[in-house]
Amino acid sequence: MITTKTSKRSKRRRVKGFRDSEASKEGINPLTEKYWYQRYNLFSKYDQGIQMDEEGWFSVTPEEIAIKHAERCTDHQVVIDSFCGVGGNAIQFARKGCHVIAIDIDPAKVAMAMNNAKVYGVKEYIDFIVGDFFALAPSLKGDIVFLSPPWGGPSYKDIQIFTLELLKPTDGYALFQVAQAITPNIIMFLPRNINLAQVPELAWLSSPPLELEVESNYVQNHPKGVTLYFGSTAAFPPRFSSDYL
């Protein structure tokens, strides 16, 4: 009984605390509040008019990691950001001097990505397309394909080992093959609990197998994901980051 009363009281306190908070005044809901506290890790220019929605909070790549991804492209290369969301990666590729084709199936996401690219002053270096990456892929040309496919929302953390089959809307192997038909130079950003045993199988889908590099990504010592670099985006000679040695 005591436990129930205490937990009800502390829940009321939490809800009141949230109602009074700056986040709530900005229209942030309790589900996304945790991400809001990390807003400057996601977009350092957050206060200059960045737009987000609930899915955006869950799925945008933290800026520090998006910058690392962008370091793998060189000036004037064309990068296809296949599931661009609110634009975190597209913006950093454009800041690095690349031309970006940013695709998302959700028109609201594309509108927010356009706004956010404007905040960073790189809108003119990005072609935004509202569409299904799988339908568009056969007509796309580019030097690098960036894949940050849906991980299934924050519940991916509850899974002990995230297998490539769990990626949405198709499994990781099928997705990789679609990208590979465009270019072997692929960057794939995946959950931190990805099944690493499956990763080399993606490189082996090509003959000879693609160069592969695996990098674990942290923000302030917290693991945020794993990046796979294939083809020319991988460091040469190929290496795995120290976590995997």
C-beta closer to ligand ADP: residue 58 or 125 = 58
Q: How many residues bind ligand ADP (CB under 6 A)?
A: 18
Closest C-alpha among 110, 105, 164, 176 to residue 135: 105
Peptide bond preceding 184: is omega within 30 degrees of 0, i.e. cis? Answer: no
Residues 187-216, one symbol each (x = binds ligand ADP by CB under 6 A, - = not), give ------------------------------
Residues 21 to 80 in contact with ligand ADP, rule: CB under 6 A:
55, 58-59
C-beta closer to ligand ADP: residue 81 or 211 = 81
Q: Does 153 bind ligand ADP (CB under 6 A)?
A: yes
Per DSSP, the three-state class of 190 is strand
The structure tokens 């969301």 sit at 85
Q: Does 151 bind ligand ADP (CB under 6 A)?
A: yes
C-beta closer to ligand ADP: residue 112 or 210 = 112
Burial (CB count <10 Å: 0-12, 13-18, 19+), residue 49: exposed
Dist. CA 140–CA 208, nearest whole Å: 24
> Which residues form the interface with ligand ADP (CB under 6 A)?
55, 58-59, 83, 85, 103-106, 109, 132-134, 150-153, 169
